[in-house]
Structure 1
């Protein structure tokens, strides 16, 4: 694995860092915002999540780092960081693939990707077979226009990690 790939150790450290930031964010959330916080956590993968991650590994479109992600993380729900950030459980990724198929990433090679999550503004995150993460420009996945937001899942998680920190500092989650 390259130094930009996900490892279970790197992922565990990431979970610790973002969980600490989310706790700091929610500690005085109600006092600052006037209403109680929603769900803001990274849920560890349970046995069923891990089994689903192994099923996902057999999907040609699933990059190895996505399988590593879902072996360690069940899902990400950050309801109160800006409009929200969500990484769906692996079972939802597989169900969406079964029901709607893969997302056309465009380009000369007609690459296709898997929807892995969304933000609270209706935009979806799509992981390509090479690991790059794209974000839709609109809520539609029928003929999506996509922007690459990260070269790989590790970079995507690093960018995502900055969102609660920015939100704590100035109320803005950033561009992701």
Structure 2
């Protein structure tokens, strides 16, 4: 993606990477496992992946580092609007347009309707984390192939 980016867009790419989890990330994943707010898949993801930063795919896609997720939880509490049977969820990332991705114990992934977490309104975007990651990969693939952003 980075090799063609500057030719296509006329400026160099920003950070675009999937960073492997380091020991601090893995310790945070163990702490996450003790909360009632995360699916086993999310804990597994953060045990192996530190974060995803695709700043140039469309407006950008970001799966935040777990220490940031836990700090946001501590400072602002969990998000709960529109999550149906799930009482609360964690903000795990965002797109470059200011919308956030939220997931809870069942693993369903939602996207906020606004950039505000006060009363964000949530729309379901994936049935589970695996499907969400597949949608991210599809967005990257489409962007590399023809420069079109995904709409996740």
Q: TM-score, normalised by structure 1?
A: 0.83
Q: 1:114 and 2:90 equivalent?
A: yes
Unaligned runs of 5+ in 1: 1-24
Q: 1:169 and 2:141 equivalent?
A: no
Give the structure 2 partner of residue 159 of structure 1: 135
> RMSD across aligned C-alpha pairs, in angstroms?
1.2
Give the structure 1 partner of residue 78 of structure 2: 102
Give the drift of 1:99: 0.4
Q: TM-score, normalised by structure 2?
A: 0.96
Q: Which residue among 11, 22, 37 is the counterpart of 1:46?
A: 22
Unaligned runs of 5+ in 2: none
The DSSP-based 3-state class of the residue aligned with 1:95 is helix
Give the drift of 1:102: 0.3
Q: Which residue among 1, 6, 9 is the counterpart of 1:33?
A: 9
Distance 1:64 1:130 in 2: 9
Q: 1:83 and 2:43 equivalent?
A: no
- CA contact 2:36–2:105 (8 Å) conserved in 1: yes
Q: 1:70 and 2:46 equivalent?
A: yes
Q: Spell out, residue by residue over 1:144-169, the C-alpha distance to the aligned partner (whole angstroms, 9 max, x if none).
A: 11100001000100111011111122
Change in CA separation of 1:109 and 1:28 when aligned onto 2, cut-off 3 Å? closer
The DSSP-based 3-state class of the residue aligned with 2:14 is coil
Distance 1:53 1:46 in 2: 11
